[in-house]
A = this chain, B = another copy of it.
Amino acid sequence: MRLISADDIAAAQRRLAGRVVRTPLMPCPRLGDAHGLDLWVKAENLQHTGSFKARGAMNALLALVERAGAPAGLTAFSAGNHGMAVAWAGRTFGLPTVVCMPPHAVPAKIAAVRRYGGEVVLTEDLLGTCETLAAERGYHLLPPYDNPDVIAGQATVGRELLADGPPPGLVLVPVGGGGLISGVAAALRAAASGPTGSTEPQAGPATRIVGVEPVTANAIGHALRTGEATPPQRPRSMADGLAAPFAGRHTLAHVRALVDEVVEVREDDIRDAWWELMDATKLLVEPAAAVTLAALRAGLVSAAPGTRTVLVLSGGNVSPAALSTLA
């Protein structure tokens, strides 16, 4: 399985320039002091559509247009953030977009997809419905994570955080299907191999890259341990953005080659970390964005005192009902 290259990432960055938000890398001394780290957050909750997914979706669409011209439309399956991102990307080109969502999808996320101009189809058969739309209408099925163009789009998160200061000693990334951590790791390893190095990213010792997923939604961790892409139990977590049904082939290859470790956090720890993260940063984030802090709080990840540490805040799409569980 070929990993994405530094050239792929540079191409994504060129495509996305001016189209996505260059999100801030913000210091968080309060959390840093609490954990003895020089702690920063990469605020992808401030990205268009409220999550990093905008990067991957837009890069995949732009790459497709470059190679094959604009499709008749777009389709995607998603419980939320990816669907919003695809609808947003499609609207940029005036393309009709159909997002297949599970019947239990959060109403606020359904409404958000519609706000970006997407048509919503509620169905248990997510993939099958998308494939039918692709076959019958010629729509392009834009996958949520297991795709090199999507991964290269997410990699621009890593490029940006490197451009905003010295290389971090520790980067913590939420893991669902693995697209974000695959991209971020590829960008960090490509940089570690040097500006004149090969275009293939190399695992480098400079930065420790740790993925974090819920114990109850651990497709990547399960796949790393067993080689099975699909976990035995249906994923379910308050961090609903991380409830990926299976580990991707591309993402698993990137994680195996480039990521130091993937750890798993409990629901109670996610809830406590979620509030601490919002209170300390004054950013509205979704629970998925807090799994990294949950791992620090639970002592699952440690680093030398004062280590420059970046938590990637994956998104900020949350409902009032979810917030009410904090009380």
How far is A24 from B21 in the complex, measured between Cα atoms in Å? 14
Binds B, one of A56-64, A221-229, A317-325: A317-325
Alpha-carbon gap, A326 to B278, bound state (A): 16
Alpha-carbon gap, A81 to B284, bound state (A): 19
Residues on B with beta carbons closer than 8 Å to the beta carbon of A26: 46
Q: What does DSSP make chain A's interface, helix, strand, loop or mixed?
A: helix
Across the interface, name the chain B residue whose C-beta is closest to A316: B282
Closest to A281 in B: B284
Please tell me if the beta carbons of A282 and B284 are within 8 angstroms of each other in the complex: yes
Q: At the interface, yes or no: A283 with Cβ under 8 Å from chain B? A: yes
Find A323's partner among B50, B282, B326 (CB 8 Å cutoff): B326
Contacts of A50 in B (CB 8 A): 282
Contacts of A279 in B (CB 8 A): 284
Contact B326 A46 (CB under 8 A): no
In the bound complex, do residue B282 and residue A45 qualify as a contact, i.e. CB atoms below 8 Å apart? yes
Q: Is A327 located at the chain interface by the 8 A CB criterion?
A: yes
Task: Give the residues from 272 to 315 in chain A that come closer than 8 angstroms, CB to CB, to chain B.
Answer: 275, 278-279, 281-285
Q: Please measure, in the bound complex, the distance between the C-alpha atom of A46 and the C-alpha atom of B28, giving whole angstroms.
A: 10
Complex partner residue of A326 from B24, B283, B316, B324, CB under 8 angstroms:
B324
Q: Whole-angstrom distance between the alpha carbons of A4 and B239 in the complex?
A: 50
Closest to A48 in B: B29
Residues of B within 8 A of A316 (CB): 282
A-B contact pairs, 22 of them (CB 8 A): A26-B46, A45-B282, A46-B282, A50-B282, A275-B320, A278-B284, A279-B284, A281-B284, A282-B283, A282-B284, A282-B285, A282-B316, A283-B284, A320-B323, A320-B326, A320-B327, A323-B323, A323-B324, A323-B327, A324-B324, A324-B326, A324-B327
10 smallest beta-carbon distances between A and B, as pairs: A324-B327, A282-B316, A320-B326, A324-B324, A45-B282, A323-B323, A320-B327, A282-B284, A321-B327, A284-B284
